[in-house]
Amino acid sequence: RVFKIASIPGDGIGTEITSAAIEVLQKLAFIEGKFSFEFNHFDWSSENYVKRGWYMPEDGMDQLKKNDAIYFGAVGWPNVPDHISLWGLILPIRNSLNQYVNVRPTRILRGITPPLAKCGPKDLDWVIVRENSEGEYAGHGGTTHGHSSHAVATEVSIFTRVGIERIMRFAFETAKSRPRRKLTMVTKSNAQRHGMVLWDSVFAEVAKEYPDVQWDKMLVDAMTVRMTLQPQTLDTIVATNLHADILSDLAAALSGSIGIAPSSNLDPTRQNPSMFEPIHGSAPDIAGKGIANPVGAFWSAAEMVRWLGMEEAADALMKAIENVTEAGIRTKDLHGSSDTKAVTGAVCKELESV
Ligand code: NAI
Ligand code: MG
């Protein structure tokens, strides 16, 4: 079978890690022999935005829909304000293609020493389920009086029963599919007294359908402490768009580096292609140097392969990645001395033997 993959490298290290991921995916398909990938490349980036005045052409979404999945690098560059780039590319894709779940697994890959002793491989094994379509990133609000001394800006969060119910159900199903069957629901419903209170009540309703899942609730501020000091008490975590965005960067740091962490933007109805991307951004501080950690990109590629139904190939890729981290072939963010190319080459080589 041939899978059509839309590739959007975007900006900065997004382009470096996307080409590394494509190399690894091609190698994986070649070794496995049962499927292949046809990549459709889209040059939607901040550099081209400055030249053309748009990130995506008008029929961009239709072009993406012709693919089985989307592989995304990162968007954002100092030449364009970040809210323009985010709202020019990644957020419209997530919204238009009904990718209402963002799944962010975190664990300590073999051979990696986590920064905190408490967060060892046996302690930290989580899946963060991020609400990906509404909440704080709904984009509603406005500014009056421009940027004068009287300026007032509103940033309105939107929470709907439909939106909450579907993310809760996905989170419970995820928790149920994992050995510990444990779900922690995160809010800030003491201070945010409308939307977060609706989260609490819809959560309580959906929880009744899952008597075999053990659950608890946390306020997001206290959650940062629990993740850091009692990681072993957590398994599956569900949180809003903003809260989960922040918590997943913390999770990535606790697992070794932001350069490792993967994410899947899923349309669970499978009516639209889902999108796979490392959680990090374009990293202008290291872009162009060839030293970006490609592990988060490879792990995201493995999640894409799994979503497309090829479990064995996904497992093989994860094994190859971890053989390489264990062998000490790592980039600088993981205290190694290898560059992107060396890590990519090593993973391709490992694929021959796993
Ligand atoms: P960032 O994730 O790009 O970088 C944060 C820090 O982590 C930097 O020091 C960077 O060098 C390091 N880092 C990130 N990925 C790495 C990797 N693979 N290997 C080694 N080191 C890595 O976040 P930042 O600096 O806040 O944002 C930079 C730009 O990226 C902004 O324009 C921002 O809006 C955008 N961004 C885009 C995202 C997306 O496309 N989904 C997500 C996050 C940020
Ligand atoms: Mg983020």
Asked if pLDDT for residue 278 goes beyond 90, the answer is yes
DSSP string, 145-161: STTSTT-EEEEEEE--H
CA dist., res. 145 & res. 268, Å (int): 42
Give, in words, the CATH class of 114-255: alpha beta
Q: Secondary structure of the chain: what % helix, strand, coil (to 5)?
A: 45, 20, 35
Instruction: Calculate how far, in angstroms, residue 126's C-alpha sits from the geometric centre of ligand 1.
Output: 22
CA–CA distance, 134 with 235 (Å, rounded to integer) = 24
User: Please, are residues 98 and 85 in contact by the beta-carbon 8 Å criterion?
Assistant: no
Ligand 1: does its nearest atom lie under 6 Å from the Cβ of 258? Answer: yes
Q: Which residues contact 154 (CB under 8 A, 6 or more apart)?
A: 141, 142
- CA–CA distance, 299 with 321 (Å, rounded to integer): 8
275 lines ligand 1 (CB under 6 A): no
> Is residue 99 helix, strand or coil?
coil
Ligand with an atom nearest the CA of residue 296: 1
1-98+273-354 and 114-255 share one CATH topology? yes
pLDDT in tens, 41-54: 999 999 999 999 99
Does the beta carbon of 102 sit less than 6 angstroms from any atom of ligand 1?
no
211-229 burial, b for 16+ CB within 10 Å, e for fewer?
A: eebebebbebeebeeebee
Give the mean model confidence (pLDDT) for residues 261-267. 98
Residue 146 has pLDDT above 90, yes or no: no
Residue 261 Cβ < 6 Å to ligand 1: no
DSSP secondary structure string, 4-28? EEEEEEESTHHHHHHHHHHHHHHHH
Class of domain 1-98+273-354: alpha beta
Instruction: Among 15, 85, 241, 258, name the best residue to mutate to test ligand 1's pocket (greatest count of ligand atoms within 8 A of Cβ).
Output: 258
Annotated domain spans of the chain: 1-98+273-354, 114-255
| Nearest atom (ligand 1) to Cα of 297 | 18
Alpha-helical segments (H) within 80-181? 82-85, 91-96, 161-177
Q: 53: exposed, middle or buried (C-beta count within 10 Å: 0-12, 13-18, 19+)?
A: exposed
| Rg for the chain, CA atoms, rounded | 20
| Cβ atoms of 302 and 312 closer than 8 Å | no
Neighbours of ion ligand 2 (CB under 5 A): 245
Average pLDDT, the chain: 97
CB atoms closer than 10 angstroms to residue 327: 13
Q: Describe the strand order of the beta sheet including 182-187 as a list of residue ranges.
A: 36-41, 2-10, 69-74, 274-278, 262-266, 101-107, 125-131, 236-239, 182-187, 214-219
pLDDT of 89 > 90? The answer is: yes
Question: Any residues with CB less than 8 A from the CB of 35 and at least 6 apart, and which?
Answer: 1, 2, 3, 29, 310, 313
The predicted pLDDT at position 1 comes to 94
The model's pTM? 0.97
What's the CA-to-centroid distance between 211 and ligand 2, angstroms? 32
DSSP class of 258: G
Interval 172-225: pLDDT, tens: 999 999 999 999 999 999 999 999 999 999 999 999 999 999 999 999 999 999
Ligand 1 within 6 A of CB of 351: no
Q: Report the separation in Å between the CA atom of 232 and the middle of ligand 2, taken as the mean of its atom positions.
A: 23
The pLDDT score that the predictor gives to residue 117 is 87
